[in-house]
A and B are shown apart, each in its own frame.
Chain A
Amino acid sequence: MGVRLLGIIGLVGVAAATAFGLFVVPADLNQGDAQRIMYPHVASAWLAYGSFGVTALASIGYLWKRDLRLDAIAVAGAEIGVIFTAFAIWGGMMWGRPVWGVFWQWEDPRLTTTALLLALYVGYLLFRRLTDDPARRAARAAVVGIVAAVDIPIVHFSVEWWRGLHQGPTIGSPDRVLNPSAPGQFIIALVGMVAAFTLVWLYLMIRRYQLARIEWQIEEHGRLGRISAARRKASVPTGGQPEGAR
């Protein structure tokens, strides 16, 4: 199948980009080997935001078209987005420790924004899981997802402002103190990793979407089964033709 091929190419791509980033590209002049963390960290962050963008668009689309396939896309985007967001934060912490000396830095607006992003979408997933009625779930989740998406630019600006108006040394994100000794290879490594991760992301999205579709079908079947069982019970005393009774 085409999807399997996509997965294989993605896997090979990640392996190649990892090898390149770890062993071929020379170390950063300022940050040394720690800078290599940037490749999967940035790739994860991009795909995290991209995933949530997909969720937001799919949510709007669902409210407009009421096509459950869009709801499946939304949940896929959210779940995979949470995964990549967690990776981005982990990468940020691993990168931050050697560069700043601490695992967490409140003055890095990207780190704090990403943490809130994680909180928003974990909430979205928990909300879906705790909403019992599947018919309502899609619409309500869509609404929750849209408001979460609307919040993100606000968070971004306010956290930037927060850091900017603070009177203190400008610490900020680690990539401000980069100094690649081979800029060409640095860019290849970065772009390569992002591209490889994107292929893997696409593969995971497709699979997660398929999972959501089948889960919904099973749910629907269970629901319809309960309805027909109830109907059967209701139509027995009359002994009439069940087909006519609606």
Chain B
Amino acid sequence: MTALRADAAVAWAIARKDALAELRGRQAVGSTLFFAGLVLLLFGFALGPDSRRLTEAAPGLLWLAIVFGGLLTVARLHQLEADDGALEELARYPVARRAIYLGKALAGLGAMLVLGGLLLPVVAILYGIDLAGAWLPLIATLVLGAIGFAAVGTFYAGVTVRMRAREVMLPLLMLPVIAPLLLAAVKATTAALGGDPFGELGSWLQLLAGFDVVMLVAGAATYGYLLEE
């Protein structure tokens, strides 16, 4: 049991370190948020000006913006260490690999929640969505989606951290894996905003939760192999 507590302590320490680095590097964080907002704006130009079409497409566009912003976010969280060679330093410590992974994923989760939370009102304004009454299911969807994205993103950021062409390899490897999450999150968001007329919200949230569990386990189990040598 103490081993578990030690792991949790390590994970928390790493998450805190990353979160502090994020807060200090405010320009990078802010730029990413601004980029995601810009993407939403651009979608308006691409699919508008018919507001009805935009309102219908809003859940999908929201999650696409979250995905694009998220790609930059998870890449940034790993770049902090990579640039200083700190990742190898971290790997030399006798800590459980999964603790490192979970710590970084936790930091990623925080960043994704901030991203999603800020994009929601932007979507509401740009695409004429009424968020009233849908807060709880929306937040649940956002949290479950963010967990899954952070789990997958942390893993693939670790995979691509020192590769050639990593800017393209991260999305290239990640996006097919994230497709079920995107699909489920959009469906859940749509259901939440529409008052869940077919009672499908629960199923989609379950799918998201299942995805999260599987990916967290897979990531924790394999992250260690990425740090070796």
A130-B225 in contact (CB<8A)? no
Q: Does A119 lie within 8 Å of B175, measured CB to CB? A: yes
Q: Closest residue of chain A to B164, judged by CB?
A: A130
Q: Which residue of B is nearest A156, CB measured?
A: B180
B168-225 contacts to A (CB < 8 Å): 169, 172-173, 175-177, 179-180, 183-184, 187, 198, 200, 203, 207, 210-211, 214-215, 218-219, 222, 225
With beta carbons under 8 angstroms apart, the residue of A133, A144, A155, A161 that contacts B159 is: A144
Question: Smallest CB–CB gap between A240 and chain B, Å?
Answer: 31
Question: Which label, helix, strand, loop or mixed, suits the secondary structure of the A interface?
Answer: helix
Residues of B within 8 A of A158 (CB): 179-180, 183-184, 207, 211
CA distance A150 to B225 in the complex (A): 17
Chain B, interface size category, equals: 20 to 34
Does A155 lie within 8 Å of B169, measured CB to CB? no
Q: Are A140 and B225 in contact (CB under 8 A)?
A: yes
Q: Which residues of A contact B4 (CB under 8 A)?
A: none
Chain A, interface size: which category? 20 to 34
Checking B173, B175, B177, B207 against A127 with a beta-carbon cut-off of 8 angstroms, the contacting residue is B173
When each residue 143-165 of chain A gets 1 if its CB lies under 8 Å from chain B and 0 otherwise, what string results?
11011101100110111011001
Given contacts A130-B164, A136-B229, A144-B159, contact A155 B179 (CB under 8 A): yes
Q: Is A243 interfacial (CB 8 A cutoff)?
A: no
The contact string, 1 if C-beta is below 8 Å from chain B, for chain A 113-126, is 00010011001001
Q: Can you name 6 A-B residue pairings with CB atoms under 8 Å? A: A116-B179, A119-B175, A140-B226, A143-B222, A147-B218, A154-B214
